Structure 1
Amino acid sequence: MLPASNSSLFPVYKISKGMTVFLAGLILFTAIVDILGNLLVIFSVVQNKKLRNAGNMFVISLSVADIIVAVYPYPLLIGAILQNQWTFGNTQCQISVMIHGLSFIGSVYNIMAIAINRWCCICHSTTYENLYSMRSTCFYIFLTWMLSFILVLPMFLVGALQYHPHVYSCTFIFTANVSLTVGVAVFHFIIPVTVVIYCYVQIWVLVIQVKYRVRQESKQKLKPGEVRNFLTMFAVFVLFAICWGPFSIPGLIMGFSPPGKAPIIPDWLFVVGYFTACFNSCLNGMVYGVFNQNFRQEYKRILWSLCALVLRWIKYFN
């Protein structure tokens, strides 16, 4: 039996057994595919010379942002869902939401960094090599994570990270601090998404122009690899926007609504947005395998090597 103080801090929220199994299974599936898929991404970049470039260093950084939530918060979340209540204490609840927030901000700013990298590579190819040496790229990644950490701190310091029984974990509460909600809307969503859209629009315009000139004059062509990489990263951004939109857009609406006139967000929409956002962390590894032939081939090579290793172990122990 939990102490009364802990019970009041983390109230029980019971749902049907079917929904409990579904939510726990969804997070379990997300965590497993997240870890396996993103480890495949990291190993592919490290082992394949064709993939070992400055642009894909940001891909590794994005994979790390996805993996950290699968390793720590998600196992606790599964336990909380199965028990209809958070039972791991307030410290663990606050740490888990901090890591989840860091993962989200790290993801959105790594996606922004990828878009800038693709924009420089395709639209400003003459200066790309000077801007994106391996050393400078590592520095950019370091700055990306430092900025992400700085941006997640205010939510913790003003007490906006609170327990929400409908998602069985601590999360960002939009109504906790109006000024902070506006800041979150601007720095966590509007600025990075605007930069990403600007970069990808510029790339799409160039791709269309080049294809038009190719048909008419046959003078200029984009490298097939550049277009393929761009389409892969564009797909990553689109899926990220789709998955995080239901959670982030209500925050935008509440943050910019006149005082006292902010709409009430239905609990079901908050729950859908939260779990959809969680699900996004397992998608990127699959996207690289579907859209990028180099990643797909490296996936196959790694998986075949693992299968061969397992078979050797089975033969050895038998």
Structure 2
Amino acid sequence: MEGMNETEANNTTVTVIPVSPRMRSLFDINYNLGVIYVLIITLLSITGVAGNSAILYVMKKELQVKGLARLLMINMALADLFVTGIANPMCIIGAFTGMHIMRWGSWLCISVASLCLTACICVFFNIVNITVNRWILICFTNAYDKIYNKTSIIVLCVACWLIGFGVEVPNFIGWGDHTFDEKTHQCTWDRNADRSYTVLVTAGFITVPLVLILFCNMSMIKRIWDVKRNIHGYKASYSKSVIATLKTMILLNLYLKEEQRQVLHTVEKLTIIQSPNDVIKFWLMRGFSGC
């Protein structure tokens, strides 16, 4: 019996259940990749928080920074702080924990994913507003004051947040969903939940505004180059006119000097006139000599 029990014990097999990559951290999957990923996200977070904080500080302290566009800058900086100050650090935590982050509560992952998508869309549309604002100022200067005022700028700022929330709402009503992304190891909106929703977000709320940004920037560059070329043309014509004026002034100066010399010569001759006959002889000589 003891021999049989020993044999059975030796023949016992242990089944190893593979652990899903979602349950493993990025460091367990690829340590070097995890280090690089965390370093990059950390650098982006620090840079983003510092940069956006500097924008808010400058807008508050430097009174010479005026204009309606400053409100758009403040709105963009606030939205981007949510991304760089909250969403990015959660990406770092996700790289260390993997799917185990869900043990803290699914509400945490859903909250981070919702905040990330909403803030990212808000930042993106703020960039669109700032670009269009500069485009109208540079290319349609006369129409700028008719379009932009304090009320319209506030409406645009609020609209950026409403668009961000509007893009996120379908994830709560069954059209889309939230998930822990296996590739990026972060909580985000589920791109595979519904293809139509994914197409709407990527095409309607990312691609189309991106095309608008590119169009506005290209138009501004063209406008700047046209103005620069006109300035160079004006400078060339101005230089020619200055040179022509200088030549005229030089010739006029020479002419006046010659006239002055002729007058002095005439006065000298008048001083030797002693009688009426001398006057007649003088004018006859002047007429024939041309001096």
Q: Please tell me the TM-score bracket, short chain as reference.
A: 0.5 to 0.7
Distance change in 2, residues 1:154/1:218 (3 Å): farther
Distance change in 2, residues 1:57/1:190 (3 Å): same
Greater relative CO (CA pairs within 8 A, separation 6+) = 1
1:218 deviates by: 4.7
TM norm structure 2: 0.66
1:8 deviates by: 7.6
Larger Rg: 2
For each residue in 1:251-270, what CA deviation from the matched residue of structure 2 results, as whole angstroms up to 9, or x when unmatched? xxxxxxxxxxxxxxxxxxxx
Q: Say whether the 8 Å CA contact 2:114–2:189 is kept in structure 1.
A: no
Distance change in 2, residues 1:172/1:218 (3 Å): farther
Q: In the aligned structure 2, how far is the partner of 1:136 from the partner of 1:81?
A: 42
Q: What corresponds to 2:86 in structure 1?
A: 72
Distance change in 2, residues 1:9/1:170 (3 Å): farther
* Amino acid paired to 1:211: K
Aligned residues: 213
Distance change in 2, residues 1:168/1:120 (3 Å): same
In structure 2, which of residues 197, 201, 213 is the aligned counterpart of residue 196 of structure 1?
213
Distance change in 2, residues 1:174/1:76 (3 Å): closer
1:148 deviates by: 1.9
* Amino acid paired to 2:23: P
1:10 deviates by: 5.0
Q: What corresponds to 1:109 in structure 2?
A: 125
For each residue in 1:80-125, what CA deviation from the matched residue of structure 2 results, as whole angstroms up to 9, or x when unmatched? 2123444232111111111111122112111110111011111111
What are the ranges of 5 or more consecutive residues in structure 2 without an aligned counterpart?
1-18, 237-291
In structure 1, which of residues 172, 177, 186 is the aligned counterpart of residue 203 of structure 2?
186
In structure 2, which of residues 40, 47, 64 is the aligned counterpart of residue 33 of structure 1?
47
Q: Say whether the 8 Å CA contact 2:131–2:217 is kept in structure 1.
A: yes
Query: 1:126-205, aligned counterparts within 5 Å?
Result: 126-157=142-173, 158-205=175-222
Indicate the percent of aligned positions where both proteins have the same amino acid.
Answer: 20
Q: In the aligned structure 2, how far is the partner of 1:199 from the partner of 1:84?
A: 41
Q: In the aligned structure 2, how far is the partner of 1:12 from the partner of 1:23?
A: 15
Q: In the aligned structure 2, how far is the partner of 1:191 from the partner of 1:31?
A: 27
Q: Say whether the 8 Å CA contact 1:73–1:99 is kept in structure 2.
A: yes
Q: In the aligned structure 2, how far is the partner of 1:216 from the partner of 1:86?
A: 67
TM norm structure 1: 0.61
For each residue in 1:188-231, what CA deviation from the matched residue of structure 2 results, as whole angstroms up to 9, or x when unmatched? 22221122122222212211111111111259xxxxxxxxxxxx
In structure 2, which of residues 225, 232, 235 is the aligned counterpart of residue 215 of structure 1?
232
Q: In the aligned structure 1, how far is the partner of 2:20 from the partner of 2:52?
A: 38
* Amino acid paired to 2:132: I
Q: In the aligned structure 1, how far is the partner of 2:235 from the partner of 2:63?
A: 31
Q: Say whether the 8 Å CA contact 1:15–1:84 is kept in structure 2.
A: no
1:70 deviates by: 2.6
Query: 1:83-122, aligned counterparts within 5 Å?
Result: 83-87=97-101, 88-122=104-138
Q: In the aligned structure 2, how far is the partner of 1:170 from the partner of 1:217?
A: 58
1:72 deviates by: 2.2
Distance change in 2, residues 1:198/1:45 (3 Å): same
1:156 deviates by: 4.1
Q: Say whether the 8 Å CA contact 2:176–2:197 is kept in structure 1.
A: no
